């Protein structure tokens, strides 16, 4: 009965979603595209942007490069550089206060998913100052145009530069709030591979696997897909299989870095239209409870859930395996065998990039909470190929544990 109710919700939501005014962030691509920020700000009449970033990017000199571009164009910018991984409600509120107290009129979000999500959350609170993050959490609670917003990803993974989502953690309850609204899609996405050149290998790997998870979950979705989101998901999977390990092996491989930024953007669009699924729901629960980096959690959970889905996804995984060039279309293998190749290749990639097979942080007493959060996030909204009940979530979460605690 529960499954039927979920599917009915998704059927109706799909109908409504097709009437919504979807858009993408306008991509500004290529090495050195950061130089175009002043022109984009001018177009949007922004005179005093708030640059939202983190200390790592300040230390790496990447924030400085953006500030230099603005300085050259005589654009005074205010900087908030204290975004933490899995950004908190307090951080978002501090950014919103800074925006008002400094008289800012637009956002530049520079960083991985954390900086972009924190800036999106703050921008939502700028236009809805009387609503808390808790009140903005959920679907279509903002419903108001945000200030001009330029997103500059410095990792190739989250896709936040073109998504409807901002994930904000409540540090008291450890719960991750997902604010989901079309107005959260940034106006511009600057995809400059020069900014991802110095990324550590572990971050290249984890964020790249996050992008792969977006593309795969979007492709496996039961009902929200469009022709464009399917094409974007397929493109992203193909690009990631061809380029992620190149970028991991040689951080200065600009062509691979650029391809990964394209893939991440495309996967971001695919999942913002078609939604993610149970893999993300479990990863978010892990992020909230243990601060597990989002991409790392997805990388580990992705092949486990694909295995668990079984024959429900064999045909689609077989097509992804063909698109990624892992098997040929004329291969005599069955769909199940091709799906197996796809899953085994993910395990092998994880292994080559130093991603663990599981986690030793998951405590038995936390599992009911993880099941509750993951279930609440997935059902009924996510059009997953297989609706998980509590037992199914428990089984997959148990399979992620490296040792009993
Ligand atoms: Fe993700």
Residue in the block written with tokens 């290249």: 204
Residue 278: what are its φ and ψ, rounded to 5°? -65, -30
CA of 211 to the centre of ligand 1 (A): 7
Give, as residue ranges, everything with CB less than 5 Å from ion ligand 1.
Answer: 210
Q: How confident is the model at residue 1 (pLDDT cuts 50, 70, 90)?
A: confident
Q: Where are the alpha helices (DSSP H) in 333-380?
A: 335-352, 367-378
- Non-local (6+) Cβ contacts of 127 within 8 A are 142, 144, 145, 146, 147, 183
Looking at the predicted structure, is the pLDDT value of residue 403 above 80? no
Which tens digits make up the pLDDT trace of 9-58?
999 999 999 999 899 999 999 999 999 999 999 999 999 999 999 999 99
Span 345-359, mean pLDDT?
97
pLDDT of residue 154: 97
**325: CA distance to ligand 1 center in Å?**
24
Counting residues of the chain whose pLDDT is more than 90, the rounded percentage is 88
Is the model's pLDDT at 292 over the cut of 50? yes
Mean pLDDT on 187-215: 96
291 dihedral zone (left: phi>0; alpha: psi -120 to 50; beta): left
Q: What is the mean pLDDT of residues 323-332?
A: 88
- Residue 110 β-bridge partners: 152
**380 preceded by a cis bond (ω within 30 of 0):** yes
User: Which residue, chain included where needed, has tokens 């050259």?
Assistant: 72
Q: Residue 148: which of 36, 72, 43 has the closest Cα?
A: 43
- Going from the Cα of 102 to the center of ligand 1, the distance in angstroms, rounded, reads 32
Distance 100 CA to ligand 1 centre (A): 30
For residue 286, the CA-to-ligand 1 centroid distance in Å is 13
What's the confidence (pLDDT) of residue 405? 45
Ligand 1 center–CA 127 separation, angstroms: 25
Q: Are strands 188-191 and 26-29 parallel, antiparallel or unpaired?
A: parallel
CA of 376 relative to ligand 1 center, distance in Å: 17
Taken in order of first residue, the domains within the chain and their CATH numbers are 31-196 (3.40.50.1970), 201-399 (1.20.1090.10)
- Ligand 1 centroid – CA 166 distance (Å): 11
Percent of the chain whose pLDDT exceeds 70: 99
Residue 404, pLDDT > 60, answer: no
105: CA distance to ligand 1 center in Å?
Answer: 29
For ligand 1, the distance from its centroid to the CA atom of residue 260, given in whole angstroms, is: 15
Centroid of ligand 1 to alpha carbon of 345 (angstroms): 20
Of the listed ranges 33-37, 68-72, 319-323, 329-333, the one predicted with least confidence = 329-333
* 3-state SS class at 185: coil
Strand partners, 169: 88, 176
Mean pLDDT in residue range 356-365: 95
**Residue 342 in contact with residue 317, Cβ under 8 Å?**
yes
How far apart are the CA of 159 and the centre of ligand 1, in A? 8
Q: Kindly give the distance from the C-alpha atom of residue 107 to the centroid of ligand 1, in angstroms, as a whole number.
A: 22
Give the mean pLDDT of 169-185.
89
Residue 240 CA to residue 261 CA, distance in Å, equals 10
Q: How far is the CA of 45 from the centre of ligand 1 (A)?
A: 32
Tell me the whole-structure pTM to 2 decimals: 0.93
Distance CA 293, CA 289 (A): 11
| pLDDT score for 330 | 82
**165 CA → ligand 1 middle, Å:** 10
Give the Å distances, CA to CA, from 216 to 137, 160, 248, 373. 25, 16, 20, 22
Question: Please, is 93 exposed, middle or buried when counting C-beta atoms within 10 Å of its C-beta (0-12, 13-18, 19+)?
Answer: middle
Count CB atoms within 10 A of the CB of residue 55: 12
Average pLDDT over residues 339-355: 98
Name the 3-class secondary structure at 250: coil
pLDDT above 80 (res 227): yes
Residues 90-136 pLDDT 10s = 999 999 999 999 999 999 999 998 999 999 999 999 999 999 999 99
Distance from Cα 266 to the centre of ligand 1, integer Å: 13
Cα of 123 from ligand 1 centre, angstroms:
20
Q: Which helix (H) or strand (E) holds 67?
A: helix 62-72
**31 phi/psi in degrees, rounded to 5:** -60, 130
pLDDT at 328: 84
């Amino acid at each position: 009965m529960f499954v039927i109710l979920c599917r009915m919700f998704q059927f109706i939501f799909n109908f409504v979603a097709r009437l919504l005014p979807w858009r993408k962030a306008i991509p500004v691509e290529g090495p050195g595209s950061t130089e175009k920020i002043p022109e984009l700000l001018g177009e949007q009449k922004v005179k005093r942007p708030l640059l939202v970033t983190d200390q790592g990017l300040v230390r790496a000199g990447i924030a400085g490069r953006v500030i230099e571009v603005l300085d050259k164009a005589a654009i005074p910018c205010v900087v908030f550089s204290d975004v933490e991984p899995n950004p908190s409600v307090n951080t978002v509120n501090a950014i919103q206060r800074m925006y008002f107290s400094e008289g800012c009129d637009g956002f530049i979000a520079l960083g991985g998913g954390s900086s972009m999500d924190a800036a999106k959350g703050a921008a939502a609170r700028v236009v809805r100052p009387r609503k808390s993050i808790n009140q903005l959490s959920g679907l279509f609670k903002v419903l108001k145009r945000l200030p001009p917003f330029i997103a500059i990803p410095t990792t190739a993974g989250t896709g936040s530069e073109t998504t409807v989502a901002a994930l904000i953690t409540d540090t008291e309850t450890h719960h991750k709030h997902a604010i989901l609204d079309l107005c959260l899609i940034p106006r511009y996405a600057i995809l400059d591979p020069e900014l991802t050149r110095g990324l550590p290998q572990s971050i290249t790997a984890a964020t790249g696997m996050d992008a792969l998870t977006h593309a795969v979950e979007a492709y496996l979705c039961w009902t929200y897909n469009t022709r464009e989101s399917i094409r974007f998901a397929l493109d992203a999977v193909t690009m990631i299989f061809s380029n992620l390990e190149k970028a991991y092996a040689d951080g200065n491989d600009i062509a691979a870095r650029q391809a990964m930024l394209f893939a991440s953007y495309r996967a971001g669009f695919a999942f913002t239209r078609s939604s993610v699924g149970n893999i993300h729901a479990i990863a978010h629960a892990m992020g909230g409870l243990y601060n597990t980096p989002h991409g790392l959690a997805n990388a580990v959970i992705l092949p486990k859930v694909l295995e668990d889905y079984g024959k429900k996804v064999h045909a689609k995984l077989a097509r992804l395996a063909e698109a990624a060039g892992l098997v040929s279309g004329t291969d005599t293998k069955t769909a199940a065998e091709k799906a197996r190749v796809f899953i085994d290749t993910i395990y092998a990639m994880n292994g080559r990039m130093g991603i663990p097979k599981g986690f030793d942080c998951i405590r038995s007493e936390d599992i009911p909470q993880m099941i509750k959060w993951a279930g609440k996030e997935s059902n009924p909204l996510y059009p997953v190929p297989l609706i998980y009940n509590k037992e199914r979530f428990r089984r997959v979460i148990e399979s992620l544990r490296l040792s009993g605690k």
